[in-house]
Chain A
Amino acid sequence: MNRLIGQMKAKRGIAAAMIHPYLDRICIAGAIGTGKTTLLEAAAQYFSKEETVILPAHVTTEKLLGEKDITLLLQDEKKNVTDSPLYQAKVVVTDQFALMPASNQHMLVQLLKNKDIPHDNNVGSIASPRTAKWFYCLNQNIQDKQLFQYAKLCVQLLPIFEEAERREAIQSSADKKYELRKEEIEEAKQRLPAVQVSKAMLRLAVEVVLGSGCNNQEADIDLVETARALAALDADESVQQWHVEEAAGYVLAHRMGELSEASVTEEIEQQSEQEYTASESQNNKEHSAEEGAVNNDKPENITTGESIEKEASQNEQKETGGKEEETEQIVAALKVQSELLFTKRNDRLSGFQGKHQENNQLGGNGRMIRAVMKPTETLSLHHTLSAAAPYMKIREPRKGMAWAIEKEDMRFKLKEKQQGFTILFLVDASRSIAAKKQMQVVKGAVMELLRQAYQKRDRVGLVSFRKTEVIEELPFTNKFAEAKSKLRDIPTGGKTPLAAGLKKALTLCEKERRSHHQAVPYLVLLTDGNANETLKPGGTAAQARSEAYHMARKIAAASFPVSVIDTQSGRNRFGLAEELAAVLDGEYISLDVLTDQAIARTIQNKLHPLANYK
């Protein structure tokens, strides 16, 4: 670990996790090139090679669950059941966790959390040892902040801006003073059981968690345990306030993002204020009661020792006054850390990272559609045996085998996952149409589609264009709650940059097609077809029209299914939307009465009969 210059904070976090067996899921977060992998490697060095399991991002579902090795062609009869690599692992390392397919991410976490791995010996499941620790790296700029939530501890690596340290990092001489040696960790481990938590510290920890707005009660325990581990590291006999403070940075910062992103800070402030007033009055009451009773009371068995009670009461008296301020201070410091984790500094980057979000390759998990000769991940025994059957009479089985199977008989399972559509709404929010009312209708339609999205496996996104801008109001999602909070306020009015809107839609659809190989992006355009703003603002209406048509032809060339819903109705229709639909090579839908239900129904009817024929 000495190769890492600076980053003391991160190192102490890792050390705490090493010391305490309970702290078993650790996330290392940081921007690109801040030494995440180096830290990970350093952490892994504390364990022997046999105990360490390194999982690459492309690990298959079968492998995670443990699979049977079939030796069709080999003759030796040794036991050929392969256990899951997680079985009896002490350390599990996933450097590129964000690149794993979402389904495997979930499974890996579940397997690690539940501590039992289905095991193939008809005895039932065998619990893996409790000491299995899991380290994973996350790039701070990843889109999906959800991935942070799996960690009990999260250490952050910060870029270094001091020249001297930076120079040192480049030279990286390996024989510098060892900072945290293996023995030190071992010693701290020995000390851990004796580390006490006073009642005051326990209260402080719980209040900090509540104050941070984190609802997860597991965080309470993690925080106290981390503080104990840190105290053990410092050879302290009991947890001190700075331990709680430090531990909060590892335990809470990444959980604060669990609140809906937009309103994080606001909510925290509100909540914490309430909590303070509530806990304050409570504190006062309880303190007076407790202090009288403390010495006669049975030991509250916070941990093993008994002397703590007295100590606690002393501490309490000292600290009651400053308690609220302390909590406040810690929470304020946490907010800064949390913001570091959760701010999107580089929107530009999301493009190339987005495509790794989900990997829908054939093979892997899913429903089998047919057997193929081309090797996939799983062998279909039934088809293989059928293929070999006709030759049984003329072939000689290998030793120890009842069947004679040759390589050319092998058949593999081709699996498929049910895949929904991706629907992108492109909505004209300009003045030329009754935009505000229309927007309500569109939002309604989006929500209606999302409500059915889980069953149909669809994902829905929304882009609006007005004035000179195009805004991605809702990135593709199938999450109802997320969509609801994002769609709350969409401004309307201004000119119509139709070309820019179409361009954005094309980019998004192409990106989507690239990342989800089987997903078909379906574009729904709501407009009156009247373009009057150019890609570069300030052009004439005629230019705007020709640009829009140029973009439309591009979309048609990319052969995305398109529907144009005309927002003009009744007699005063100009036919512009109809014209646009023709250029787009899409379908023109005129809804005389625009309602959310009608739109949702029209789209569903379009997509899902189609889905059945696929």
Chain B
Amino acid sequence: MKNYPFTAIVGQDKMKKALIVNGINPKIGGVLIQGEKGTAKSTAVRALADVLADTSVVNLPVSATEDRVVGTLDMEHILKTGEKRLESGILAKADQNILYVDEVNLLEDHLVDILLDAAAMGVNRIEREGVSYEHPSRFVLVGTMNPEEGTLRPQLLDRFGLCVDVASEKNVEERMEVVRRRLDFEQDQQQFEERYVQAQNQLSKQIQQAQILLPTVEISDRLIGIVADLSIELGIESHRADITVITTAQTLAAWKQRTAVQLEDIYEAAELALPHRLIQDPINDTSSSEALAMILQNKVVEHQ
């Protein structure tokens, strides 16, 4: 079965942008996509791998066993030969790839612990059953969740570099277009893919160019100061927030074929990197991302 082409997804620009910057620069630290069912979350994640070179999507099921995730002894090998051998788990497969957790808020507790460990160090250490072994496990963590089904542990939440909210489309015409494309895709995948082959190629080329450009992107001290100020103003404690904003802004600059970060990059990055780090009042209804958008809007106006 073929994946639905990334460029054929209607709308959801913010989600697409967040995924692309992560594809360009894995150091951003992944993305958490929050939203209702049926908003092309999974489709977008799966499609992303097609426009990135040498990357695949490794799926982590929410109730997988610890053995499967971390890796365990290869029993068959031991019994046949008497030698110890490790059978690698999902974390080994995820190295240099995208680790995708659907419904990440339902991830079992013991798996969250493992994931936090590996994500923090970029290394999967196996210390169990008489095995001591470690292997690199640097992955782009992409999670999707429906916030109505429960929230995420704060440690894990902070681990995601970016966070985007997606909502379903309310416009009839747009929705019709979504259905139409999907119908065409189901009808003849080959033909459908051909229609988007040019757009797909262009996108992967742009991503590759951005990857080359990225190490040369510079950011002025003034802009770093602005990032710090913003965090202080919003009452964000995590320093990871600042670093993520800056990294994302650099990546965005590279994406736009520039070698210097501009103020608009900072605000664009902040919009992606900060919403889930704001302190949310549990009783108050206004969503933190809305509040953030307002503050950022005011800033933009100020600077003009």
Binding site for B on A (CB under 8 A): 22, 61-62, 65, 68, 70, 72, 80-81, 103-104, 106-107, 110-111, 113-116, 118, 120, 122, 124-125, 127, 130, 149, 193, 197, 199, 202-203, 205-207, 209-210, 215-221, 224-225, 258, 279, 282, 286, 300-304, 365-368, 378, 380-383, 385-386, 400-403, 405, 417-418, 444, 447-448, 451, 454-455, 457, 478-481
Contact B79 A401 (CB under 8 A): yes
Q: Interface readout for B143-171 with A: 1 if CB under 8 Å, 0 if not?
A: 00001111111100000000000011110
Contact for A221 among B130, B168, B179, CB less than 8 A: B179
Contact A218 B63 (CB under 8 A): no
Contact B79 A454 (CB under 8 A): no
Query: CB-nearest residue of chain A relative to B186?
Result: A22
Contact for B75 among A70, A444, A480, CB less than 8 A: A70
Complex Cα spacing A400 to B56, Å: 38
Contact A62 B62 (CB under 8 A): no
Is B76 close to A, CB under 8 A?
yes
Contact B61 A224 (CB under 8 A): no
Contact B110 A206 (CB under 8 A): no
Contact A217 B61 (CB under 8 A): no
Contact for A210 among B130, B147, B175, CB less than 8 A: B175
Q: Which of B13-21, B36-44, B205-213, B217-225 contacts A (4 or more CB under 8 A)?
A: B36-44
Task: Give min CB distance, B291 to chain A, whole Å.
Answer: 18
Complex Cα spacing A127 to B73, Å: 25
Binding site for A on B (CB under 8 A): 1, 36-40, 42, 56, 58-59, 61-68, 73, 75-76, 78-82, 87-88, 90, 93, 102-103, 105-106, 108-110, 128-130, 147-154, 167-170, 172-173, 175-176, 178-180, 182-184, 186-188, 282-283
Contact A61 B65 (CB under 8 A): yes
Contact B65 A62 (CB under 8 A): yes
Complex Cα spacing A203 to B38, Å: 18
CB-defined contacts of B282 to chain A, threshold 8 Å: 447-448, 451, 480
What are 5 contact pairs spanning A and B, CB under 8 A? A149-B37, A202-B179, A216-B37, A217-B38, A382-B128
Complex Cα spacing A467 to B36, Å: 41
Contact B80 A400 (CB under 8 A): yes
CB-defined contacts of A451 to chain B, threshold 8 Å: 282
Interface centre among B68, B73, B88, B153 (most CB of A within 10 A): B68
Task: Give min CB distance, B137 to chain A, whole Å.
Answer: 16
Contact for A216 among B38, B61, B147, CB less than 8 A: B38
Contact A418 B63 (CB under 8 A): no
CB-defined contacts of B184 to chain A, threshold 8 Å: 301, 303
Query: CB-nearest residue of chain A relative to B152?
Result: A454
Contact A106 B106 (CB under 8 A): yes
Contact B81 A110 (CB under 8 A): no
Complex Cα spacing A210 to B154, Å: 34
CB-defined contacts of A124 to chain B, threshold 8 Å: 56, 93
Contact A197 B61 (CB under 8 A): no
CB-defined contacts of B154 to chain A, threshold 8 Å: 455
Contact B110 A367 (CB under 8 A): yes
Q: Please name the 8 residue pairs, one residue from A and one from B, whose CB atoms are nearest each other, closest first.
A: A218-B38, A402-B82, A216-B38, A382-B129, A107-B63, A103-B63, A215-B168, A217-B38
Contact A454 B150 (CB under 8 A): yes
Query: CB-nearest residue of chain B relative to A443?
Result: B283
Query: CB-nearest residue of chain B relative to A377?
Result: B65
Contact for B42 among A114, A193, A454, CB less than 8 A: A114
Task: Give min CB distance, B188 to chain A, whole Å.
Answer: 8
Contact A114 B59 (CB under 8 A): yes
Complex Cα spacing A491 to B49, Å: 54
Contact B183 A303 (CB under 8 A): yes
Complex Cα spacing A481 to B285, Å: 11
Contact B62 A110 (CB under 8 A): yes
Contact A224 B179 (CB under 8 A): yes
Given contacts A110-B62, A110-B103, A215-B36, contact A118 B76 (CB under 8 A): no
Contact B1 A127 (CB under 8 A): yes
Task: Give min CB distance, A450 to chain B, whole Å.
Answer: 8
A114-B102, A302-B180 given; 15 more Cβ-contact pairs under 8 Å: A65-B64, A70-B75, A113-B102, A202-B179, A216-B37, A217-B38, A217-B175, A221-B182, A366-B108, A381-B78, A402-B80, A402-B82, A447-B282, A447-B283, A451-B282
Complex Cα spacing A168 to B119, Å: 63
Query: CB-nearest residue of chain B relative to A301?
Result: B184
Complex Cα spacing A124 to B283, Å: 45
Given contacts A217-B178, A400-B80, contact A111 B61 (CB under 8 A): yes
CB-defined contacts of B186 to chain A, threshold 8 Å: 22, 225
CB-defined contacts of A80 to chain B, threshold 8 Å: 76
Query: CB-nearest residue of chain B relative to A381?
Result: B75
Given contacts A286-B173, A368-B66, contact A116 B59 (CB under 8 A): yes
Contact B183 A203 (CB under 8 A): no
Query: CB-nearest residue of chain B relative to A106?
Result: B62
Task: Give min CB distance, A398 to chain B, whole Å.
Answer: 10
Interface centre among A65, A127, A197 (most CB of B within 10 A): A65
Complex Cα spacing A125 to B89, Å: 12
CB-defined contacts of B183 to chain A, threshold 8 Å: 197, 221, 224-225, 302-303
Query: CB-nearest residue of chain A relative to B282?
Result: A451
CB-defined contacts of A210 to chain B, threshold 8 Å: 170, 172, 175
CB-defined contacts of A418 to chain B, threshold 8 Å: 109-110
Contact B61 A107 (CB under 8 A): yes
Contact B129 A380 (CB under 8 A): yes
Contact B68 A65 (CB under 8 A): yes
CB-defined contacts of B188 to chain A, threshold 8 Å: 304
Complex Cα spacing A385 to B84, Å: 11
Task: Give min CB distance, A76 to chain B, whole Å.
Answer: 12
Contact A403 B82 (CB under 8 A): yes
